[in-house]
């Protein structure tokens, strides 16, 4: 009985990490869709999200069953408790990748972004995907140091997000309004993706230690 229980808990942990890997792969492909106007990539991201929805429902059922049938305590209860919270964050990461892909699809075969913000988006994507990788790993390793570092990794995203808005709101911006609106929303999607990855780190710290690190302050955007 206890063996089956530990097996189920280990399986839930692996599934969470797989979901996070799926969301991160989706953001990687969505970024290709965005920066290279790659139509196959957009379609793949949108189609693959169905898998995420199925995995989410399954992980929720499993977490519920663990609570109902096994009544975990202490560290194991913290693991299930955190899983219940993180399932939503991770699915949201996947949904944000779909948002990016859908904007790319709408503009295909044209580029969504003008030249002067493309490097900024390439950097934001790099940081977002590195955060997604760290989150995927830390869900398995449960290494509290690595988990805490996600927050520091996110500083680079905050800086890039500020840079993007300083370009967008600069008087020298000569592109039209639809382009600026898309760039602002896309910037927000990458920034939110990173925030959810940071939340994974925060919850893993709680899972391991029982202490939940403070959240960051809410920014202007």
- Where along the sequence are the contacts to a copy of itself (CB under 8 A)? 49, 53, 57, 60, 63-64, 67-68, 71, 73-74, 77-78, 81, 84-85, 88-89, 95, 98-99, 102-103, 106, 165, 168-169, 173, 177-178, 180-181, 184-185, 188, 212, 215, 218-221
Please state the closest distance from residue 142 (CB atom) to a copy of itself, in A.
18
Would you say 133 or 176 has its CB closer to a copy of itself?
A: 176
Between vectors from CA 113 to CA 34 and to CA 217, what angle results, nearest 5°?
85
Please state the closest distance from residue 220 (CB atom) to a copy of itself, in A.
5
Number of other residues whose CB lies within 10 A of the CB of residue 56: 18
CA pair distance 96, 102, nearest whole angstrom: 10
Would you say 110 or 145 has its CB closer to a copy of itself?
A: 110
Between vectors from CA 89 to CA 106 and to CA 219, what angle results, nearest 5°?
80
CA pair distance 38, 42, nearest whole angstrom: 7
Query: Residue 195, class by beta-carbon neighbours within 10 Å (0-12 exposed, 13-18 middle, 19+ buried)?
Result: buried
Would you say 126 or 192 has its CB closer to a copy of itself?
A: 192
Please state the closest distance from residue 42 (CB atom) to a copy of itself, in A.
11
Please state the closest distance from residue 181 (CB atom) to a copy of itself, in A.
4
């Amino acid at each position: 009985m206890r063996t089956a229980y530990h097996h189920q808990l280990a399986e839930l942990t692996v599934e969470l990490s797989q979901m996070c890997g799926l969301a991160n792969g989706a953001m990687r492909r969505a970024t290709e869709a965005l920066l290279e106007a790659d139509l196959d990539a957009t379609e793949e991201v949108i189609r693959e999200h169905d898998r995420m929805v199925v995995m989410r429902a399954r992980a929720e059922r499993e977490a519920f069953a663990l609570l109902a049938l096994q009544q975990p305590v202490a560290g194991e209860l913290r693991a299930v408790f955190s899983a219940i919270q993180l399932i939503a964050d991770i699915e949201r990461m996947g949904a944000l990748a779909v948002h990016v892909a859908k904007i790319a699809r709408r503009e295909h075969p044209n580029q969504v972004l003008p030249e002067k913000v493309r490097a900024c988006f390439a950097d934001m994507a790099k940081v977002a995907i590195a955060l997604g990788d760290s989150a995927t790993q830390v869900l398995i390793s449960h290494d509290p140091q690595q988990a805490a570092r996600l927050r520091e990794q996110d500083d680079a995203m905050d800086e890039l997000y500020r840079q993007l808005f300083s370009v967008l709101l600069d008087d020298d911006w000569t592109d039209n309004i639809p382009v600026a609106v898309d760039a602002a929303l896309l910037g927000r999607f990458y920034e939110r993706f990173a925030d959810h990855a940071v939340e994974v780190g925060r919850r893993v710290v709680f899972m391991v230690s029982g202490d939940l690190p403070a959240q960051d302050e809410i920014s202007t955007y």
